[in-house]
Amino acid sequence: MSSEDGNPSARKTELLEAAYEYVLRHGLGEMSLRPLAAAIGSSPRVLLYLFGSKEGLIRMLLARARSEELEFLDRVRRAEAGGSGELVRLAEQTWAWLAADEHRALLKLWAEAYARSLVQPDGPWAGFARATVDDWLDVFANVGDAASDIDSAARSRATAVLAVLRGALLDLLATDDVERVTTAVRSQLTALADRSR
């Protein structure tokens, strides 16, 4: 099976999941095929056969990581579809997900890929940062009154919320100080809500 096939083999899926667990623990920084293959019970030759190249594997790993974010965003969209769609409430739910311990490894991987896509825009992470900004803005700009007609004010509010959450996330990843950062997030979201009234 080539890496171009739209329907991956069970072995390719299994190795992708194992490689994903590996990069969640070790990051992408110094990822080398030989230690990766040994850790997941494969060989560099098999990985190259299945994924085409190391860059192809990295692209698939980033797509796998992004899929977790997209699953969360899809749940948020569905939950808000019949509700009032209050932006601050949505942001608070999102922060709870971002701050949860079980997402820390994923979000460290996200931060690494985000930074690499900014400084090495032609690498396998090309477009990663922009795509994730668009994913999150789409959710935040489509709540409340903005759902039927996204205007510049809705997009501006969504951008402010995203800036608060992303900045807080980077702080949290650096310090692990959940209480301090969460207090700051709540304060900023309250201020944004007050300005929107």
**83 and 164, same domain (yes or no):** yes
Q: Determine, yes or no, domain membership for 188.
A: yes
| Residue 58 falls inside a structural domain | no
**CATH number for the domain including 13?**
1.10.10
Comparing CA positions, the residue from 161, 165, 33 lying closest to residue 96 is: 165
| Residue 36 shares a structural domain with residue 87 | no
Q: Do 100 and 29 share a structural domain?
A: no
Rounded to two decimals, the pTM is: 0.83
pLDDT digits (tens, 9 = 90+) for 65-96: 999 888 988 887 777 654 434 788 889 989 99
133 and 95 within one domain: yes
Task: Give me the number of domains the chain comprises.
Answer: 2
Please choose, from the candidates 108, 92, 76, 89, the residue with its C-alpha nearest in 3D space to the C-alpha of residue 172. 108
Shared domain check, 84 and 35:
no
Same domain, 22 and 116: no
Q: What is the pLDDT of residue 36?
A: 96
Higher pLDDT, residue 151 or 1: 151
Is there a domain that residue 57 lies in? no
Contact 171, 181 (CB under 8 A): yes
Residues 70 and 164 in one domain: yes
Contact between 183 and 95 under an 8 Å Cβ cutoff? The reply is no
Domain boundary among 52, 71, 95: 52
Q: By residue range, what is the domain housing residue 96?
A: 63-196
- The reply to whether 181 and 110 lie within a common domain is yes
The pLDDT of residue 22 is above 60: yes
Distances (CA, A) of 149 to 46, 110, 153: 49, 30, 11
